[in-house]
């Protein structure tokens, strides 16, 4: 077996509780994945440059830069990374801008089912290209 199954995921959210909620879901879904956390855009940029994660979950509503602006910046640094923008703000314009940016929209609060579906798609996409 290839060890391709061990992915690195970056969780970006200014709320510690929101990051804990994602960690809880990951404990069930993909406990073996390596996790990185960032509480703001600067930490996220640094993490992407340093560790080149496979997947990033970005909170939309953060102080400073919003999740979509950050998505564009992180993609530039790491074009292969899959990105989901997580937001409680389900306005159509935001959902549209998310898909235009090549990212997946995930509604907040994030559910294990929705996160599982997104990550499964990421894994399948990666493995089909491997």
Partner 1 sequence: MSASPPIALDELELDALTELVNLGISQAAHSLAEMAREEVTLTVPQVRMVPRDEAIRIISEREPSKLVAVHQVFRGDITGRALLIFPEAQSFELVRAVVGGDMPLDEIIELEQEALAETGNIMLNGCLATIANHLQRSLTISLPEILHGESREFFDLEPPPPPGDLVMFIYINFALRHRDINGYIAMLLDMPSMTALKALLKAYIGRVAGDVLAG
Residues of this chain that bind partner 1 (CB under 8 A): 14-18, 20-21, 23-24, 27, 61-63, 87-91, 93-94, 108-109
Residues 6 or more apart whose CB falls under 8 angstroms from that of 115 comprise: 22, 25, 26, 29, 57, 106
- Cβ-count burial of 4 within 10 angstroms (0-12 exposed, 13-18 middle, 19+ buried)? exposed
Three-state SS at 130? coil
Minimum CB distance to partner 1, residue 109 (Å): 7
Q: Which is nearer to partner 1, 50 or 91 (CB)?
A: 91
Minimum CB distance to partner 1, residue 110 (Å): 10
Minimum CB distance to partner 1, residue 27 (Å): 6
Minimum CB distance to partner 1, residue 106 (Å): 13
- Nearest C-alpha neighbor of 9 from the set 49, 51, 40: 51
Q: Which is nearer to partner 1, 34 or 127 (CB)?
A: 34
Strands 82-87 and 55-59, how do they pair?
Answer: parallel
Strands 104-107 and 55-59, how do they pair?
Answer: unpaired
Q: Which is nearer to partner 1, 27 or 124 (CB)?
A: 27
Q: Which is nearer to partner 1, 81 or 98 (CB)?
A: 98
């Amino acid at each position: 077996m290839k060890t391709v199954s061990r992915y690195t995921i970056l969780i970006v959210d200014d709320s510690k509780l929101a990051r804990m909620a994602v960690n809880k879901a990951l404990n069930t879904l993909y406990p073996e994945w390596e996790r990185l956390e960032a509480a703001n855009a600067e930490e996220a940029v640094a993490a992407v440059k340093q560790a080149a994660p496979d997947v990033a979950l970005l909170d939309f509503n953060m102080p400073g830069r919003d999740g979509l602006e950050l998505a564009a910046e992180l993609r530039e640094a790491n074009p292969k990374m899959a990105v989901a923008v997580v937001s409680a703000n389900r306005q159509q314009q935001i959902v549209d801008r998310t898909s235009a940016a090549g990212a997946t929209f995930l509604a907040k609060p994030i559910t294990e089912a929705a996160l599982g579906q997104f990550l499964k798609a990421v894994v399948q996409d990666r493995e089909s290209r491997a």
